[in-house]
Structure 1
Amino acid sequence: MNTQQYQNESFLDGNQAAFLEQIYQQYLHDPSSVDAQWQTYFEAIAHPPSAVAAPCIDPTMERRSLQLRVSRLINAYRYLGHLEADTNPLGHYAYKVSVPQLMLEHHELENIDPTLTFDPGSFNIQTAPTLQNIVHALRETYVRTTGFEYMHILDVQEKRWLQRRIETDLARDKLTHPERRKILEQLTAAEGFELYLHRRYVGQKRFGLEGGESLIPLLQTLIHEGGKQGLQEIAIGMAHRGRLNVLTNVLCKPAGELFSEFEGKIDETYTGDVKYHKGFSCDVSTEGGPVHLVLAFNPSHLEIVSPVMEGSVRARQDRRHDKDGDQVLGVSIHGDAAFAGQGVVMETFNMAQTRGYRTRGTIHIVINNQIGFTTSTVSDSRSTYYPTDVAKMINAPIFHVNGDDPEAVVYATKLALEYRQQFQKDVVIDLVCYRRLGHNEADEPNMTQPVMYSIIRG
């Protein structure tokens, strides 16, 4: 190599790998964001010109081209892996997108020597970094029952923190037997509660949680992990779906009191409201000490409780002089149709980081049962791929998780809580599930959603 050639390619030295990877990722996301010389270089190695005679091919340049194509594949999984993740317990009944960027053919890597090894960069891999092993590790990380959306985040520190946690943390596979047993007990309690009400109070409206029972271990994980991290109060805002289950199995409202409401034995003179709008508060013991829980009362107007809950959280933080939000956490539980359809969601997000109203990060949980009343066709209910896309306006990370994999739900919850405590910003858990019964218990959904309910009841 002559001096001029060395000067032209000295940036390829191993010491510059991190810098080169950062520039290349910028180029992949937006080619116009990098200098024109970088654009020319990356374009040349991504699509090398055909050689007339085989001996003219520079083996060094060919190897570099392969390496950059592998880097581009790794980056594609980080950006788009969530689109292929197995997050829907109903399969791809509603919609399925093709993601060619995750295919080897898209990167011209389908016929390479299987013994070749590559530099995976910052991607963590425990085995020899052959292409086959890299792809296997990528799919184990990004295409299981949790889809991670975080590459849209502008803050590099936040993005790198999430990337390291997602790609190196194997905690999702390391739940202990007692932890799994606890999850089973919580799911059994949630399902048993709904079955009992369904059989005893036939036809009465309760807007049950059937199909989304993983919400209960999700909330229990937030409470007990939050207690370990020093939280002393958790304020929850939610609509009617699953409220009775949360009241009984999370906030410990006496079952007898709830049954009396079903049977009309409670004097409603002072409330005049239905049982699935009522709130409650209690203290729960955790390993880190007692945590005070409060579930806000809620009207039938979807999402109107969200800013009310945020105001309650801010007031509690101010009262405790909790400037960093280490003691008080807000949890906002939404439905998928309301989250995408109600403007108050965007308005509340808009105040999330303002000085006068911020609450140092809210954990948003979307009970995504893939239907709004009787509308289940995505193109009839919203213009975005996910119901959670509105959260990207504040660069919130979004974890799409299969509600039929409660262990994955618990892992996503722990990660969401750690992110909130670390960066004091909002985070979204998209709990993808289904609605086993109708909009309410007097509704027969086979009339309006025959295909969906043939899968649910099949």
Structure 2
Amino acid sequence: MSVNTPNRTVDDFGSNEWLVEELYEQYKSDKNSVDQSWWPFFDKYEKNGNGPAAKTADAEPTAKTGAKPAAKTKAKPASQASAKSADKSDSSTADAAPDESPRGVSPSSAQTETLKAETKSVPKVVVKDTEPKPAPEETVTPLRGPAKLIAKNMDDSIEVPTATSVRALPAKALIDNRIVINSHLKRTRGGKVSFTHLIGFAVIRALQNFPSQNVSYDTRDGKPVMVSPAHINFGLAIDVPKKDGSRTLLVPNVKKAETLTFRQFVDAYDGLVDKARQGKLTADDFAGTTVSLTNPGGIGTVHSVPRLTKGQGCIVGVGALDYPAEFQGASQHTINKLAVSKVLTLTSTYDHRVIQGAGSGEFLKLIHSYLLGEDGFYDDVFESLRLPYEPVRWVPDVSAEDQDDVNKTARVIELIDAYRTRGHLMANIDPLVYRQRSHPDLDINQHGLTLWDLEREFPTGGFGAKPMMPFRSILGLLRESYCRTIGFEYMHIADPLQRRWFQAKIEVPHQELTRSEQGHILGRLNAAEAFETFLQTKYIGQKRFSLEGGESAIVLLDEVLNQSADTGIEQVAIGMAHRGRLNVLTNIAGKSYAQMFREFDGTMSPDSVQGSGDVKYHLGTEGSFTSPSG
């Protein structure tokens, strides 16, 4: 929390001003229910006359004078009133009866019987409500709290002369590159990148190269001025559910967004969303927004014209991502054949006093170009996330007439052969040095294919054990098989049967490890690393060959022996190299740590017939290996 928070004013929060009021009400009722970072702000908020005393105008008139409100008399239905009046008339008649006994004197039995007989002889009267029901009237509900402040902000926004520019763009490159990014993240560190992440980063990049949009209007010394902030504080509209089931909109901002890489921007964005969901946003998270992004497309809106609050010059709206309306009734096959892309509509609502329409149009055009991949936009995104491949390139579709379908099928078969021959040149086999790997023979554009072919189906010639596959699935399986962290080079083999054997083993979908399998592998690696660390610390100077650099051999041997045990193999002999031999003896062959440490200490087992030799790893061992699944 910044130490400057107490110096903030309500005006610094823009469209989030209602939040200050809501938190202040919580602060008054229970100070500890509000994050401590807000306390200095609310202390000054009360001292400046914004507390309860300053809001007596909202109270009832009776609260000022201290007079008690008049008691309210509840109106009775007409039927009840008629019935009661009838009862009173009956009682008055009874009071006037000459044979009624005086108060305090009991009537005689004869008088009582006479009274009962008269009462029975009177017919019972049923009073019906014949009055018409009142017509429904309008209900007036005063706006209070957040709703009241939102209405005030909307009233204030009327004073801002705004205009809006609208631009639609094809989202094909955006969609395909997001698929590549999220597939890589799923295989590596996890997480996901949303469309809003990419669009927001494109807006920030456009603001860097077109700063005339990152301005606001103000008056200084009674004169109108245009304010150009030092940084881009990028506001994000976040829809947050409340405890009572209602929803509210918060607009915190990413500070100095132009200084962040894409990965840093995603982390900052997700951090704000998490804080908003947990109710931990502070005053500084809201203050100083210069340009903001809203996403009405999440509810299917094609595009919107949002309101612009004071102190802000521009707000960008992201519409729905969908096929154009005229193609939404077409089949997917027709859409793929015609190369119809889903469309994204962007709007830029701006303060017309400091931003002109031509500039707003150029701004949206720049965002459009970035989302198509121009100026290395996706290259920078891939580099920030350390994707070892080139992004999908935006190019026009190649004509897909009937005669060209045959040519494209041949090009797909040609690409499959290229990956089998050159795929290892794009394999990501160097974990120490990052670079984007590419090869002309593996570029789909070099084979006359484009991103528009990704959804189209082609004959495979037996690849993937399927006669027909979408080109996206073909390309995905090729990269999965030949360009991940293992390189295969076997096409120089002359025997076609041997080549097909390799292809049958390599060209299969990647199988994800279960959580228990991942835990087992991690346990083997931890055991190997702990053993090496202990030897290096305890037996300094002892001659040995450590496992360093060969940790994966432990996991590989463990899996080979697991499968051997599952298939019923009774005996396995390991011809082990010097590197990592001690670790294999203990963690794979089953030699006890106690025996290993005795040998390092110079204490030999009495039944040893091999002698100690010059180094400990010359000693072998025998043991039994049981598969965890068996």
TM-score, scaled relative to structure 2: 0.33
**Higher relative contact order (Cα pairs below 8 Å, separated by 6+ residues):** 1
Rg larger for: 2
TM-score, scaled relative to structure 1: 0.44
